[in-house]
Structures are given as C-alpha cells and as structure tokens.
Structure 1
Amino acid sequence: MDNHSYNFPSDCTPLTNSKSARKPAGATVVNMGSCGKNPPRDYLLWSLCNTFYVNFCCLGFMALIYSIKARDQKTLGNLQLAQECSDKAKWYNILAAGWNLLIPLLAIFLLVLLLVHLSSLRGSFDFLGEDGFQNFMNLFSW
C-alpha cells in the first residue's frame, strides 16, 4: 500500500523524506496528578538512624518497616495507604527517638545521683576529693 491511497487521521503525520511535509512538534503536556497535595513523607533516614542507635523494644525497626511500606505505596500510586504507613512510621520514630534520648539521660542522672549520695556520706567515701578514684576503687576491694 502506498502513501497516496492511505488516509491518515488528522492527528497523525506520516514519515516522509520531504522537509516541507513535516509539521513542527508542539508542546507535550504530561499530567502528573493533583498538584494541590504533597505526597506523604516516608521518614526513611530517620528510621534508619533509630534502627541503628539503641533501638529499644525494636521501635526503630518497626519505624523502618512502615517507612519502606510508605515508600512502596507512594511508588505504586496508593497515596491513602502511603499516608497511613507514613503516619505510623512517624509515631514509631517519635517513640524510638524519645527512648533513645531518655535512656542515656536516665543513666547519667542515676550516676550523678549515686555520686552525690556517696559523696555526702562521712568517712572514706569522698569520691570528689583528691583521692576520689582510690576511694571509689576501695569499695570493690574485699
């Protein structure tokens, strides 16, 4: 079938060798969905940090699981489920970060409280004086 006997639709241009038959290309518009709403965040980096640091009761690991689920659902285009997983990942990250900060602060507080209590005792328990380390080590010698 030659080009002369074939009828082309109005929106198609046949490939020809002549430059006069070519039409200039117009602008291409790609619709990416709704512009008004931002896609949900996945908190993946925060989840990784919480997973590798302390990770009390596996809260950081749970946050990492929901972060990956949120990223997968966002990639698939299911923004509602991605938002739900993102919210869960955020709350698990908040809980994990709270525990990650609370445990070292609690340990420091108990150590300071122990040193203050032991330094207030009379006798050879002066841990903050000149022979403080030696007096502390004397507690463990029998």
Structure 2
Amino acid sequence: MNPPCYPAENVPLQGRYDRLPEESAVIQHTTVNMTPEPPKDHIIWSLCCFLYSNPCCLGLAALIFSIKARDRKVAGDLEGARHYGSTARCLNIWATVLFSITVLIVIIITIVICTLLYQQTQAIRDRIRTSPYDFNYRG
C-alpha cells in the first residue's frame, strides 16, 4: 500500500524579525541542579601500572587505593572515595613516570653499548688488516 501524496505547501514569508518586540519578550529562568561528579577510582590505570610497570610496588599500592576508592564510592562515602582516588592517581603518576624514565635509560644505554661495540669491532678489524703477521698463511 502506497502512502498518500499530499500537495506541497507554499507559505510566503511575512517579514523578517531580528528580535522579538518588547511587549512579547518573555524572560525564562532555568534552574539546573548540578550534581557533583562521582569521584574517579582510576582502576584501569592502576591495573595497567600493576601488571606492566610496577616500580617499587607503586602499581600494587595504586591498585589497593583504587579498590578502596571503589568500595567507598559504593558505600556512599564520596569524600573518602575522592581521597582514595586522588592517592591512587598520584601513585599511578609516579609509577608511570618512573617506568618511562627507566625505559628511556635502558634505550639510551643500549644505544651507547651498541655504538661502543661497533667501534671496537671496527678497531679490531683495522688492526688485523695492518698486522705484520699473515693470518692467512697456508703451509
């Protein structure tokens, strides 16, 4: 069954109003109830720090504080949850920074060692080429 076809309506514009007339202006007040945002427990970040970057057991401590923050949030103690969540965030930041610094130091040390080994092998090859002894002697 096809829907009925209606003719198109053409309504001419009566005029353009940039603003409402003074007598018809109505002021409306809107009240918005701002409920405080529930505190964050940073549980995912704590799990990642615990599993992948756990320097000085900071990831474990952050995970414990995240779990405490979640428990406080469920119990309805939002201030306690906020405190535990803030502590977990600080511990996560420290764990992430220490892990990042450690990774950077390891990368730099690896590059330096590889460069030194390459230079040493080149120096040994140069000595062998200029050696007065013939190591390719076949008698």
With the length of structure 2 as denominator, give the TM-score of the two structures: 0.60
Q: Which runs of 5+ in 2 are unaligned?
A: 1-32, 127-139
Q: 2:64 corresponds to which residue?
A: 65
Query: Structure with the greater relative contact order (CA < 8 A, sep ≥ 6): 1 or 2?
Result: 2
- Percent same amino acid at aligned positions? 37
The 5-angstrom pairing of residues 39-118 of structure 1 reads 39-118=38-117
TM-aligned CA deviation for residue 109 of structure 1: 0.5
Q: Which runs of 5+ in 1 are unaligned?
A: 1-33, 127-142
The size of the alignment, in residue pairs, is 93
Contact 1:47/1:64, CA 8 A, preserved across alignment: yes
Q: 1:132 corresponds to which residue?
A: none
TM-aligned CA deviation for residue 116 of structure 1: 2.3
With the length of structure 1 as denominator, give the TM-score of the two structures: 0.59
* Structure with higher helix content: 2
Contact 2:53/2:96, CA 8 A, preserved across alignment: no
TM-aligned CA deviation for residue 105 of structure 1: 1.7
Q: 2:137 corresponds to which residue?
A: none
Larger radius of gyration: 2
Task: Give the partner amino acid of 1:53.
Answer: Y
Over the aligned positions, Cα root-mean-square deviation in angstroms equals 2.0
